[in-house]
Amino acid sequence: MKIGIIGAGMVGRAIGKLAVGSGHEVMLSNSRGPQTLFSLSRAIGCEVGTVEEAAAFAEVVVIAIPLAAYRSVPVAPLEGKLVIDTDNYYVERDGSIPELDAGETTTSEMLARHLPRSRIVKAFNAIIMDDLEKGGRPAGSSERRALPLAGDNSADKAIVARLYEEFGFDAVDVGLLAEGWRFERGRPVYCVPMNASGLKDALAKAIR
């Protein structure tokens, strides 16, 4: 697949590296421009571009920026595309967002409102990137960890589940995008290593 990544920090780099290792074509981008990503492109073996170029290049776009910047994500180039939302809400970094503080919405539903003609899947947000890079294990391994995802379209979730699988993780489908609160920051499963059955149990017991 052609995967465009908006954000080239901890998350963009980790997913980019793993995706290249799994045979995907990757274009990384940030707000400062591809000239700031020259060394990274060599290290990862990916292309680099502007945010608009990464969006246009991609079949699947990964959003990996501080949540506070989500409104800067370009709308038109992402129309009709699968968009994987990795963002989390940290008030100390993103400032206070009253809707989230009140539990009225989720970070991914906010992104979905901003990108009304894109198909959003919430994924890769509930694992520390060092664990994502080093924690993948073959299917059936007793140490194999599971990761949650949520979205409104089964075919899109299957594509994201395949990426989890390629990176060495089981996928647990949490349901519709609105259920994504179950694995946001502060929930019991957030960034805690669990296998698939443990993760399903903990997700079911989450209290909003």
Question: Which residue ranges make up the site for ligand NAP (CB under 6 A)?
Answer: 6-12, 30-32, 51, 64-67, 69, 72, 86-88, 90, 125, 128-129
State in angstroms the smallest separation of the CB of 199 from ligand NAP: 16
Give the C-alpha separation, 51 to 89, whole Å: 22
Q: Within 10 Å of residue 180's Cβ, how many Cβ atoms? A: 28
Give the C-alpha separation, 6 to 161, whole Å: 20
Give the C-alpha separation, 185 to 108, whole Å: 12
| Residue 6 vs 189, nearer CB to ligand NAP | 6
| Residue 44 vs 67, nearer CB to ligand NAP | 67
State in angstroms the smallest separation of the CB of 52 from ligand NAP: 10
The token pair that represents 174 in the structure block = 């949490």
State in angstroms the smallest separation of the CB of 133 from ligand NAP: 10
| Residue 9 vs 103, nearer CB to ligand NAP | 9
Give the C-alpha separation, 73 to 64, whole Å: 10
State in angstroms the smallest separation of the CB of 51 from ligand NAP: 5
Q: Residue 186 region, left (φ>0) first, then alpha (ψ -120 to 50), else beta? A: left
| Residue 85 vs 140, nearer CB to ligand NAP | 85
The residue with its CB nearest to ligand NAP is: 9
